[in-house]
Amino acid sequence: MDDAELKMQFLYALRSRGVTNAAVLTAMERVDRAPFIKGYFAERAYEDMPLPIACGQTISQPSVVGLMTQALEVTARDTVLEVGTGSGYQAAILSQLARRVYTVDRHRRLVREAREVFEALGLTNVTAFTADGSFGLPDQAPFDRILVTAAAEDPPGPLLAQLKVGGIMVLPVGQSDAVQHLIRVRRTEDGLDYDELRPVRFVPLVEGVARDA
Ligand code: SAH
């Protein structure tokens, strides 16, 4: 199968799994997933599968990336925080839709490699930091949108505090070895509204910056 056919099949898989938002599909058509996957698995970039990346982490399944992005209702004026840079793929998709994207990971190596891919692809509105994302990014806060791509038992308090009124946060909650649910939180004038979107499976949100390189 040639590249064009693989890409057609990729977009078809996204649509059939519920990614229907035209802007999200366009972003996913534009940003090639292969550069975010190093080595052997790069040739499987167009499959709708999570794949292993460095530091024992995973790049999410594309349809899950699409569904999460869609649930976040990103607009072109938004400043977005992503917690869990991983490969940088999700941040790159967000960079097509938002004004500004900040992404943080606890693994220095993942942040370094994601920065290299952003630069190679000419994505200038996305900045990656090494930090414990449970505390958000106080210097860049508040955010219009927050996306967490690692599972916490509860939405971290500092992230809720860094969400603007009218803002939306999407995150998986639940224990790492049990069923997790994708949750959407909206901050209104009066407080927080929660809705549960679908069952998911993510690596856990881990405390602290990793000690490896
Ligand atoms: N969004 C990524 C996939 C994320 S995998 C992509 O598109 O490829 C989850 C990531 O969350 C891992 O890279 C892991 O290192 C990171 N992570 C886990 N706990 C964290 C924390 N407390 N702060 C920042 N990153 C964290």
Atom of ligand 1 nearest to the CA of 93: 7
Atom of ligand 1 nearest to the CA of 90: 7
The rounded Å distance from CA 4 to ligand 1 centre is 30
Q: Is 106 in the pocket of ligand 1 (CB under 6 A)?
A: yes
Q: Is 148 in the pocket of ligand 1 (CB under 6 A)?
A: no
User: Any residues with CB less than 8 A from the CB of 105 and at least 6 apart, and which?
Assistant: 84, 85, 86, 111, 114, 128, 130, 131, 133
Q: Which two tokens stand for residue 209?
A: 């910056």
Q: What is the pLDDT of residues 125-184, one digit of tens each?
A: 999 999 999 999 999 999 999 999 999 999 999 999 999 999 999 999 998 778 899 999
Structural domains of the chain ordered from first start: 3-200 (3.40.50.150)
Residue nearest (by alpha carbon) to ligand 1 atom 16 = 84
**What end-to-end distance do the CA atoms of the chain give, in Å?**
38
- Give the predicted TM-score (pTM) of the model: 0.97
Residue nearest (by alpha carbon) to ligand 1 atom 17 = 84
On whether the CB atoms of residues 160 and 184 are closer than 8 A, the answer is: no
**Rounded mean pLDDT for each run of 10 residues along the chain, 213 residues in total:** 87 97 97 92 92 93 97 98 98 98 98 98 98 98 98 96 98 88 97 96 93 73
Q: In this predicted structure, what is the pLDDT of residue 178?
A: 83
Q: In this predicted structure, what is the pLDDT of residue 213?
A: 56
Strands (E), 79-190: 79-83, 100-105, 126-130, 143-148, 163-173, 180-188
Q: In this predicted structure, what is the pLDDT of residue 39?
A: 84
Q: Which of the residues are catalytic? A: 60
